[in-house]
């Protein structure tokens, strides 16, 4: 037993700090007669100190204190002089080292937990107006419009169309922070409120938002295009909203698409089909995040029970007992989302939701952005997008097919080493700045995109 204890201590230390070189230990008598006293005599360290040391190593590992800070990594297939390259070169933030808050900011888990709590957490400014649009199925779509606080330097009327993450709205702190910073830079912001996400705004049809449905976003942009006939759009999505944004830019008609200057996807997973087994893994605590997301969705459904649940139970579409007992988003999708949206199988529902198979059809200049330490979206989900940007260009140089390469000329992929899921808090002290790194990135990207693409 003494040998097992010592092996456990050494193994844990080696796992927690791989750079820690532990000297070989001499053989010691750990028989019943010798007992653990021989072990303690050998290392000459009290058991309480060993336990404290293990806790210290666990904290160091969790906080990623040994992780260095770096600049964002940019992947693009285009040559110097191309428009996307010009956009990227004109963004000073890409030449800066992203420095998360001291002590805790290198942890993707803490960044993820903090994104909805910090930033402009006390900023309570309301929208200039809330627009309600009745959909063909009876749903009452709402979006909030925030007018710019200054004139944009370009003199162009510009509107950012923001699509939040799952069950989020314009009242989410990270959206509020981004909106306020963009307003100060001269941008009008329109934020889509996902159906069922707002307290005090009842559903008027038996549906909530869906992961892959673009009709609500299309209605918002169409309404804005009519209300502001001279405006140009930049479409930005966060997490689930980034998937919706990408699909919208691919599926929408040319009349609308021609007014979109640029697109940005932040922290999306790209493929619902590929994520199924990943969300059940305990690696990086994804199973715990899966449970939290599921509980949030169930809370939203309970709040909207009369419209979102009761009609489907009456029709025999839903098994209410299975719904409330779901502990994973996959189980919830099987019991609720795929059935309410009219799909025969979960696989067909996920295929419909995913934007990854459609990326080759993208005709709007766009940047895809992910964090390497995102505990919810692992590398295996965003790596195919990064590869898809470079591979066509490499193949084209070999087979002399420039048409193949041109499909990716207006697309870039960017990652940061830190930031978590929608976190990206930064600062040189323990307390983060009120404006996040991703807020600054968005405004610089928009300014650069307007200079390059907005002068058509």
Residue 103's nearest CA partner among 142, 146, 60 is: 60
Residue 200 is classified by DSSP as: T
> Which two tokens mark 113?
């937990």
Contact 246, 237 (CB under 8 A): yes
List 172, 210, 239, 354, catalytic entry: 239
List 421, 439, 447, 448, catalytic entry: 421
Give yes or no: 421 in active site. Answer: yes
Residues 6+ apart with CB under 8 A from 51: none
Distance, in Å, from the CA atom of 84 to the CA atom of 75, rounded to the nearest integer, reads 11
Residue 370's nearest CA partner among 237, 440, 267 is: 267
Give yes or no: 319 in active site. Answer: no
In the block, tokens 């993450």 appear at: 165
Contact 78, 85 (CB under 8 A): yes
Residues 6+ apart with CB under 8 A from 76: 84, 85, 88, 389, 411, 412, 413
Residues 6+ apart with CB under 8 A from 263: 234, 235, 236, 245, 246, 249, 364, 365, 366, 367
Contact 179, 189 (CB under 8 A): yes
List 216, 374, 410, 447, catalytic entry: 374
Distance, in Å, from the CA atom of 45 to the CA atom of 28, rounded to the nearest integer, reads 15
Distance, in Å, from the CA atom of 304 to the CA atom of 301, rounded to the nearest integer, reads 5
Catalytic sites, residue numbers: 239, 374, 421
């Amino acid at each position: 037993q003494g040998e097992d204890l010592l092996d456990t201590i050494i193994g844990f230390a080696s796992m927690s700090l791989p750079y820690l070189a532990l000297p070989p230990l001499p053989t010691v008598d750990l028989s019943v007669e010798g007992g653990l006293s021989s072990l303690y005599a050998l290392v000459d360290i009290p058991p309480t100190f060993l336990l404290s040391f293990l806790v210290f190593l666990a904290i160091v590992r969790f906080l990623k204190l040994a992780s260095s800070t770096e600049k964002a990594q940019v992947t693009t297939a285009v040559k110097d002089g191309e428009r996307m390259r010009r956009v990227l070169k004109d963004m000073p933030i890409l030449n800066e080292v992203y420095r998360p808050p001291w002590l805790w900011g290198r942890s993707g888990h803490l960044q993820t937990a903090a994104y909805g709590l910090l930033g402009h957490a006390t900023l309570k400014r309301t929208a200039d107006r809330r627009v309600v649009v009745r959909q063909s199925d009876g749903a009452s779509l709402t979006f909030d419009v925030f007018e710019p606080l200054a004139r944009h330097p370009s003199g162009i009327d510009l509107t950012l169309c923001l699509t939040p993450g799952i069950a989020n709205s314009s009242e989410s702190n990270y959206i509020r922070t981004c909106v306020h910073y963009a307003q100060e830079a001269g941008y009008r912001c329109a934020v889509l409120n996902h159906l069922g996400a707002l307290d005090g705004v009842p559903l008027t049809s038996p549906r909530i938002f869906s992961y892959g449905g673009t009709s609500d976003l299309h209605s918002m942009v169409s309404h804005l295009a009519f209300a502001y006939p001279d405006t140009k759009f930049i479409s930005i999505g966060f997490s689930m909203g980034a998937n919706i944004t990408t699909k919208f830019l691919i599926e929408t008609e040319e009349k609308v698409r021609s007014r979109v200057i640029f697109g940005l996807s932040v922290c999306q997973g790209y493929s619902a089909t590929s994520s199924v087994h990943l969300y059940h893994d305990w690696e990086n605590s994804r199973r715990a995040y899966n449970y939290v997301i599921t509980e949030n969705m169930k809370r939203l459904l309970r709040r909207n029970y009369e419209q979102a649940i009761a009609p489907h139970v009456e029709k025999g579409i839903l098994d209410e007992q299975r719904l409330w007992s779901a502990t994973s988003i996959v189980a919830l999708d099987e019991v609720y989302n795929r059935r309410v949206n009219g799909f025969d199988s979960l696989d067909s529902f996920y295929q419909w939701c995913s934007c990854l198979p459609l990326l080759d059809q993208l005709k709007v200049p766009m940047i895809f952005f992910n964090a390497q330490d995102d505990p919810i979206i692992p590398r295996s989900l965003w790596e195919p997008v990064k590869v898809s940007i470079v591979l066509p260009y490499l193949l084209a140089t070999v087979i002399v097919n420039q048409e193949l390469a041109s499909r990716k000329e207006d697309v870039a992929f960017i990652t940061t080493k830190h930031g978590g899921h929608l976190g990206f808090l930064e600062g040189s002290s323990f307390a983060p700045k009120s404006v996040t790194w991703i807020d600054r990135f968005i405004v610089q990207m928009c300014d650069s995109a307007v200079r390059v693409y907005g002068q058509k």
